[in-house]
Amino acid sequence: MGTVEAANKDANGSLLEKNPSVVFVLGGPGSGKGTQCANIVQNFGYTHLSAGDLLRAEIKSGSENGTMIQNMIKEGKIVPSEVTIKLLQKAMQESGNDKFLIDGFPRNEENRAAFEKVTGIEPAFVLFFDCPEEEMERRLLSRNQGREDDNIETIRKRFKVFLESSLPVINYYDAKGKVRKIDAARPIEEVFETVKAIFGPKNDKVISVLVACSIVSHFVIIV
């Protein structure tokens, strides 16, 4: 255990030396997080890390850790926060960057507390893509990507889980003035114009209006 703990401390120390800027990206399924993250990466030099993608990649790698994750998901168990956080730490360390978009994490208050405790990093802010359930449902049903979870019953369950588990996280950071709420129901180009105002040169008036808006992850993994 000592070796593992030492390795974690080394990873944390290296990350903190870089003084990384972390932005949590939250929003319901179909809110457009992925599209906007790609735009932010292209225009502002961030590294995009998806907790779900990292877990799926670990499973596909065939590693002992990946097998453990896969078995937990098959048994309907929750993947411990520490497992996901270690994957995020590793990806951050290997990227060589100091600016990160962490997409779909934290999914709940326990995730949030564990991330800050393990990494010693508090996010610069939370980018929250607020989109009506009806619009997210329409998008998910029309995208036709062949995902098993893109049926109406499962979609509505995912909405419910997102709202119930994400609300405490959003409220926690909102109380600290760290939530940047985006009206994600608009066309992609219009949404990105608002995003640019947040990531571009500081515009205090725009930011203050966004911050004034208040708000909406038990770790559910869709594999």
Give the three-class secondary structure for 105. coil
Which residue in this structure is represented by tokens 């109406």? 152
DSSP code at position 100:
E
Any binding-site annotation on 18?
no
Sequence-distant (6+) residues with CB within 8 A of 123 are 22, 23, 24, 102, 173, 178
Any binding-site annotation on 120?
no
Any binding-site annotation on 186?
yes
d(CA 219, CA 148): 19
- CB half-sphere exposure, 158, CA atoms < 13 A: 21
Any binding-site annotation on 33?
yes
Any binding-site annotation on 139?
no
Any binding-site annotation on 112?
no
Any binding-site annotation on 27?
no
The Cα diameter of the chain in Å comes to 51
Any binding-site annotation on 156?
no
Any binding-site annotation on 67?
no
Any binding-site annotation on 168?
no
Any binding-site annotation on 30?
yes
Any binding-site annotation on 28?
no
Any binding-site annotation on 196?
no
Of 174, 182, 217, the closest CA to residue 199 belongs to 182
Please give the angle made by the CA atoms of 89, 159 and 163, to the nearest 5 degrees. Answer: 70
Any binding-site annotation on 31?
yes
Any binding-site annotation on 77?
yes
Which residue spans within the chain are E strands per DSSP? Answer: 21-27, 47-50, 99-103, 125-130, 179-183
Residue ranges for the known binding site are 30-35, 56, 77-79, 104-107, 111, 143, 147, 158, 186
Residue ranges for the known binding site for CMP are 111
Residue ranges for the known binding site for a ribonucleoside 5'-phosphate are 56, 77-79, 104-107, 147, 158
Residue ranges for the known binding site for ATP are 30-35, 143, 186
